[in-house]
Amino acid sequence: MRRDPLEALRPRPRAFGDPIVRSWRVAIGGLALALVAALAVRDRGGLLALGLLLGVLAACGFALLLAMLRPVGALLIATRPLGIAVLLILAAGTIDSPLPLQLAAGTAAMLVALHLLVRPEWPQLERALERALAPATTPEQRVRRRRWLAAGAGATLLVLAAALVLPPGDSLEARGGAAAYLFALTVVLLAVAAVLRLAGYSRSFVRAPVAVLMLLAGVRLAMSAGLLPGDDALSGVTVTLLVALAGAGLALAVLVDTWAWVQAQRSADLASPGIQRAIALERPLLPRAVTDAASALGLLAAVVASVALLGAMVLSANPGKATGAIADALEISKPGPAPRNFPSLGDEELARAYAPLLLFSKRSLWSPIDVEDYVARAGNGLSIADWEKQPIDRSELRSLSDCPTIVPAPCYTISTGCTDGDAPCAQPVPGREGERREDGAVYVRVVHRGEPRPDRSPDAFDRVGRYGAATETIVQYWFFYAYDDWVSPVIAGQLRQYHEADWEAITIGFSGSGPLFVGFSQHCGGEWYPWNGVRVTERTRPVVAVAEGSQANYRFPNPTQAPDWTGCANLPARTTALVSYASNIRDRTRADWSWSPPDDGFAFVDARDFPMNLVARWAPYSRTELQTLHRNHRLGSDAAGPATPSVQALWREPMRTIFRSPTWHRGKE
């Protein structure tokens, strides 16, 4: 029996369909006017009017509305399998949540992925596989089969090679190991799936331009990102322009499908001019077998990509153990009870007894230094600017302790003019593998509950968090570094975050009988552990693993750790930890050499002492860049440089910052 070419356009009879059919011109005209009104006065009820009209169309002529949305629905169906990876990423965001929530998230993700995204198209995939695996009965079929197998094997090898080449680096381990390779493979397979699914979407002459324009927009985006050459030559052809053209093509496809539907309703005579024009517009551009095969292969690529992503996340959840030249030689243990003489320890004795031991990688260039030494080394390169970017004489550096009433602190900016961590002004200090460095300085602040605050700092003892009521003493160890230059190879190139100078801190809270918790500063926030969850040396000194370049502090030197940048973006803590690790966005820590403050390197300070009295930032900016094959991208606008500790929230409100700030969280033991 011959198939009716307009079968897809013929809806079942509806009681309320006839009025819309008879007045379809009025309906389309009204919809167009409502759309124009919505765009013109979208802030004054335009979108509401458009929604009301869509509701009228849905109630009075649901078939017409379906005909209008058919091209849009087909495009959504084409991109549907790509949502599997999105669901996995969302589920992975619960990795540090309670176990019941992790179980529920994993179950929900798989139910939605398999039932709503995969199952509706699985019969199509089965039919495509049956045709591909059917025995060849003629020599021509056997030759065609061998060609397809060779093409498939070549394409598979190309995809695997692309995933291996994309992340730059001198070894697979430098690129992030197996987890990063699987993540790169996921990205490549998702790109292949998108191309195949769009090929399957372009079944007719009106849909093909939409698919082509969307593919061109993807290629143009890759050029803009620096993954492909040609960005300068096509500067006038922007991604926005191509996406807008694709949107216009989709709108045209909606109008054509709507017109064809109306023609099918008005006449049953296939020979009529209107029906013939509708048939011509709906004529397939490619054979149905080709588009079906492309859709099926796209679905298969999306499923395989999701499996690779799942493997990357499993590997990311178990990053490894401590490594480094002195990792085995260190006497690291769980903390024991506080010394018997703890209640009688003075401030200086307490700070020295619990001073952290910092562990560095052999690639770490900087260890804590004295600010006086930093300023002296900068010499004439040191510059100071006020809140209006007006220069200030260097001789006034020590007096920058107040801001005008209407100007918030910090209102001054200190700079050495360094733009690169390798520059001499950054004063890199190569790590000496297997040795302990005993130079530099640590700035120590000790505060007690209920004691006077001569420096006029706010009360540090907010009764918040698990230890709010029990904490009687807070000791903060502030470390100053000459530079911050964090670099990590990622799938698109090399991610880099850098700025002059850096302030990091370790905060220890004590009750009247011993230590309670330790806070480790990291990037814009940090993590805290109960005292029995840290590792110590010499019975009382916490071990701190310092990340390469960023100087972020961690509890133990695991080879690679995912930095928690979600808090910086006001998102729930550690929701992207697995994805960050899998994409090789990591803080690298090792125990190759250690740093311990010398006996004369303890500077006990409050907000009145230099350099804590400076209401200043120690760099004009903090910048993040993505360095790709063909260009460098600045990611977002420049952030503010690191501020003097005395104007930071961790100094002014340590308990509230550590236990209530969205950028801090309890560490994973």
Q: For the residues of 584-596, what is the DSSP string, one character each?
A: T--EE---SEEE-
DSSP string, 419-439: -STTSGGG------TT-EE--
Q: What is the pLDDT of residue 438?
A: 66
Residues of the chain with pLDDT below 50 are 1-6, 8-23, 167
Going through 436-534 in order, the beta strands assigned E by DSSP cover 436-437, 442-448, 473-490, 493-510, 515-522, 525-530
Token digits for 376? 């002296």
Any idea where the domains of the chain sit in the sequence? 80-316, 342-666
Query: Tokens in use for 240?
Result: 């926005």
176: alpha, beta or left, given left = phi > 0 and alpha = psi -120 to 50? left
- The partner residues of 625 in beta bridges, in order of sequence, read 496, 634
Q: How far apart are CA 163 and CA 151, in angstroms?
A: 18
The secondary structure element, H or E, covering residue 602 is strand 602-604
**C-alpha to C-alpha distance for 111 and 93, rounded to whole angstroms:** 17
Distance of CA 96 to the CA centre of its chain: 17
Contact 414, 381 (CB under 8 A): no
* Phi, psi of 658, deg, nearest 5: -70, -40
For 623, half-sphere exposure in the C-beta direction (CA atoms, 13 angstrom radius) is 16
CA distance 362 to 485: 15
Query: With contact defined as beta carbons under 8 Å apart, do 590 and 434 qualify?
Result: no
pLDDT of the residue at 581: 74
Alpha-carbon span 79 to 185, nearest angstrom: 19
Of the chain, the end-to-end C-alpha distance in Å amounts to 69
CA 72 to chain centre: 29
Q: Residue 6: its pLDDT value, please?
A: 47
Q: What does the pLDDT read at residue 567?
A: 64
**Smallest Cα–Cα separation from 79: which of 223, 214, 266?**
214
pLDDT at position 287: 79
Reading the block at residue 7, the tokens are 């079968």
Write out 218-248 in H/E/C secondary structure.
HHHHHHHCCCCCCCCCCCCCCHHHHHHHHHH
